[in-house]
Amino acid sequence: MTDSFTPVSLDTVCRVEFGPGRIGLLPELIADTGRHRAFVVTDRGLRAAGIAERVLKILDAAGVEYAVYDEVAPNPSTGNVDAGAARARAFGPAAVVALGGGSVLDAAKGISLLVGNPDAVAADADHLWEAADGLPLIAVPTTSGTGAETNGFGVIEDAAACRKVYIGHPSVKPRVALLDPELTLGLPPAATAATGIDALVHGIESLASRGADAFSMAYAGQAVAMIGRALPRAHRDGSDLDARAELMMGAHLAGQALTLSGLGLVHGIGHALTAHTGTPHGVALAAVLEEVMEFSAPAAQEAYEQTARALRVPPPADGDWARAAVAAVRELSGALDIKRPLRELGADRALLPAVAAGAVADAVTKNAPRLPREQEVLEILDAVL
Ligand SMILES: NC(=O)c1ccc[n+]([C@@H]2O[C@H](COP(=O)([O-])OP(=O)(O)OC[C@H]3O[C@@H](n4cnc5c(N)ncnc54)[C@H](O)[C@@H]3O)[C@@H](O)[C@H]2O)c1
Ligand SMILES: [Fe+2]
């Protein structure tokens, strides 16, 4: 949390193009990067949904030369990024177009950075922050979740080390975020819920973060309001373009917020759970969200009041806004049917110490309003086993 005397700076956002049909701008946005060829990074799901083909047709019609790497896996690995980079190096100078969810956007950042650093591999992530520039990147998200279009780092799984590494560089922060909600119309309900809850958690953790400032709080408050309103509607009826559009903008604003403020313990636990069980990011967050909020409440009263107000919770009779915020989040999560006990996600009691240790060691946890000890995380995990 901040006060009015804390110095802040805002290195303003990348170009944002938002609206149904905006994908048609892609050829001119590629030309604006100074490159005339495109290296398109996507995944098999986007191929199967016909979205990759729709976008490639737009490039064909405009005569843009391109190559496609479509083998990004959910929770992409260092091996994935290295394979994509080998393909991109062979293709030569180009703008990178990242078409997909957070997995694709994150992998594309790594690929772009490795092309600029021919001797590097993805496992060098910790040392690449000061490296040479990557290729220019245009982000085209097809989920309303991660907000990965707002920042210059990717979360990549180092399978050998069983941990998430952050691969990033200022040059791979997308030059343009091309936000077309039509691309999300076909996202199935379960994926809409998982990605949407990720965005909601970005908003809530950003409000409560030690790194919060006036800008991040403005973004995060509006994000929670938009996501809270639109997510249940988009989940119920995926073809509701209004709800899809509001959710997409909300997720983007939540991304802007987290990029400024950092996150917290829900993400620390979520990353560790995913690394050990392969659980999708949003599902891992949902498993512990209310419990982490309860743990954090003593240090996050104001943030949770803002959360509750953004979710349009009426003033609670007992004045306990934090409890009201947790109840509202529980209701939303229930409507999405997304919360699962850890056992259903492939965890057992023997795994919990490793998850707790991973959560405490994760860089995101350092911004939590109440810093947890490993034993305290273990108790949270035990309660949701
Ligand atoms: N860089 C960041 O700031 C940041 C923040 C949070 C999370 N992440 C990372 O993002 C990843 C998760 O991303 P995600 O939640 O967007 O999921 P995802 O990218 O893994 O996509 C999930 C599935 O949905 C499919 N899909 C995507 N869009 C679709 C569409 N429009 N129609 C039909 N199917 C579609 C994909 O093919 C994939 O199979 C994790 O690796 C997480 O660590 C990054
Ligand atoms: Fe996230």
261 shares a domain with 163: no
Contacts of residue 23, Cβ cutoff 8 Å, sequence gap at least 6: 54, 55, 58, 140, 178, 180, 182, 183
| Minimum mean pLDDT range among 6-20, 154-168, 274-288, 356-370 | 6-20
**pLDDT average, residue stretch 196-214:** 98
* Cβ of 49 less than 6 Å from ligand 1: yes
368 shares a domain with 254: yes
Q: Has residue 1 been placed in a domain?
A: no
CATH at residue 175: 3.40.50.1970
**pLDDT average, residue stretch 203-231:** 97
DSSP 184: G
Q: Has residue 7 been placed in a domain?
A: no
Q: Has residue 332 been placed in a domain?
A: yes
Tell me which residue of 116, 162, 106, 158 sits closest to 136, measured CA to CA. Answer: 116
Q: Quote the pLDDT of residue 163.
A: 76
Q: Quote the pLDDT of residue 165.
A: 87
Q: Quote the pLDDT of residue 142.
A: 98
Tell me which residue of 248, 282, 274 sits closest to 139, measured CA to CA. Answer: 248
Protein residue with least CA distance to atom 19, ligand 1: 101
d(CA 160, CA 372): 27
Q: Has residue 6 been placed in a domain?
A: no
Q: Quote the pLDDT of residue 355.
A: 97
Q: Quote the pLDDT of residue 160.
A: 84
Q: Which of 116, 151, 184 is the last residue of a domain?
A: 184
Q: Is 11 helix (H, G, I), strand (E, B) or coil?
A: coil
Q: Which of 137, 168, 184 is the last residue of a domain?
A: 184
d(CA 229, CA 250): 10
208 shares a domain with 170: no
Q: Quote the pLDDT of residue 5.
A: 62
Q: Quote the pLDDT of residue 13.
A: 64
* Cβ of 282 less than 6 Å from ligand 1: yes
CATH at residue 227: 1.20.1090.10
204 shares a domain with 119: no
Ligand closest to 157 (CA) is 1
pLDDT band of residue 100 (cuts 50, 70, 90) is very high
180 shares a domain with 209: no
* Cβ of 142 less than 6 Å from ligand 1: yes
Protein residue with least CA distance to atom 32, ligand 1: 187
Ligand closest to 155 (CA) is 1
Q: Quote the pLDDT of residue 200.
A: 98
* Cβ of 152 less than 6 Å from ligand 1: no
Q: Which amino acid is at 74?
A: P
Tens-place pLDDT, residues 157-190: 888 887 778 899 999 999 999 999 999 999 999 9
Q: Has residue 250 been placed in a domain?
A: yes
Q: Has residue 240 been placed in a domain?
A: yes
Tell me which residue of 289, 271, 278 sits closest to 339, measured CA to CA. Answer: 289
* Cβ of 184 less than 6 Å from ligand 1: yes
249 shares a domain with 200: yes
Q: Quote the pLDDT of residue 8.
A: 73
Structural contact between residues 212 and 222, judged by C-beta atoms closer than 8 angstroms:
no
Q: Has residue 65 been placed in a domain?
A: yes
Ligand 1 atom closest to residue 255's alpha carbon, by position in its atom list = 3
* Cβ of 151 less than 6 Å from ligand 1: yes
Domain count within the chain: 2
Element (H, E) at 356: helix 352-361
196 shares a domain with 178: no
372 shares a domain with 313: yes
Tens-place pLDDT, residues 259-293: 999 999 999 999 999 989 999 999 999 999 999 99
Distances (CA, A) of 81 to 69, 106, 118: 10, 9, 13
Q: Has residue 3 been placed in a domain?
A: no
204 shares a domain with 287: yes
19 shares a domain with 131: yes
Ligand 1 atom closest to residue 153's alpha carbon, by position in its atom list = 1
Query: 147 CA distance to ligand 1 centroid (A)?
Result: 10
**Best mutation site among 103, 111, 201 for ligand 1 pocket (most ligand atoms within 8 Å of CB):** 103
| Minimum mean pLDDT range among 62-71, 79-88, 126-135, 345-354 | 126-135
234 shares a domain with 175: no
pLDDT band of residue 10 (cuts 50, 70, 90) is confident
pLDDT band of residue 14 (cuts 50, 70, 90) is confident
Ligand closest to 258 (CA) is 1
Chain-centre distance for alpha carbon 338? 17
d(CA 22, CA 43): 21
**pLDDT average, residue stretch 337-342:** 98
Q: What is the pTM of this model?
A: 0.95
DSSP 316: P
pLDDT band of residue 93 (cuts 50, 70, 90) is very high
Range of the domain at 29: 15-184
Ligand 1 atom closest to residue 194's alpha carbon, by position in its atom list = 15
**pLDDT average, residue stretch 82-103:** 97
pLDDT at 307 over 90: yes
* Cβ of 24 less than 6 Å from ligand 1: no
Protein residue with least CA distance to atom 21, ligand 1: 101
pLDDT at 3 over 70: no
Q: Which residues pair with 177 in a beta bridge?
A: 16, 139
pLDDT at 251 over 90: yes
Query: 142 CA distance to ligand 1 centroid (A)?
Result: 8
The segment with the largest mean pLDDT, out of 116-130, 161-175, 228-242, is 228-242
User: What is the overall mean pLDDT for the chain?
Assistant: 95
Q: Quote the pLDDT of residue 12.
A: 65
Distances (CA, A) of 219 to 79, 209, 215, 216, 308: 35, 13, 6, 5, 16
| Two structure tokens written together for 9 | 């700076």
Burial of 315 from C-beta contacts in 10 A (0-12 / 13-18 / 19+): exposed
* Cβ of 268 less than 6 Å from ligand 1: no
Q: Which of 184, 205, 230 is the last residue of a domain?
A: 184
Structural contact between residues 52 and 68, judged by C-beta atoms closer than 8 angstroms:
yes
141 shares a domain with 85: yes
